[in-house]
Amino acid sequence: MRIKTKEDRRDRIKHRIRKRVQGTEARPRLTVFRSVAHIYVQVVDDRTGRTIASASSVEPKVKGGMKQDARGGNVAGAKAIGKTIAERLLEQGVKRVVFDRNGFLYHGRVKAVADAAREAGLEF
């Protein structure tokens, strides 16, 4: 596979990560996707192929709860999404997850989601 675009590079990294990172029922996989304007987070049990919880910056419920300066495209919005997903998981009794950065660098918004989820009570 030749790397021609940034997306090709991210796909190669993503496949390399997914070889090692598997979500189970006891410890599901928390995966992050970021676009230019929004950020999306899912928690998946890979053995059954079921999404346990999700949160994104396009949801009206989450969007309304964000601070004035927080949007999906900045770090403040990513922190709000991390906190939201942690709260939703803790309600379901899930405390431990495996973090999947989905080929993105662990920096900026991806790191903000992870840090906010840890602060809200998730372990990974």
Please write the tens of the pLDDT for every residue from 14-70.
999 999 999 988 999 999 999 999 999 999 999 999 999 999 999 998 888 888 888
* Tally of domains in the chain: 1
124 found inside a domain = no
- The pLDDT of residue 66 is 81
Give CA–CA dist 50/63, Å, rounded. 25
25 found inside a domain = yes
CATH code for the domain of 81? 3.30.420.100
92 found inside a domain = yes
39 found inside a domain = yes
Domain residues for the domain of 19 are 6-119
pTM of the model: 0.89
Tell me the DSSP string of 74-113.
SHHHHHHHHHHHHHHHHHTT--B-EEE-TTS-SSTHHHHH
Please write the tens of the pLDDT for every residue from 70-121.
888 999 999 999 999 999 999 999 999 999 999 999 999 999 999 999 999 9
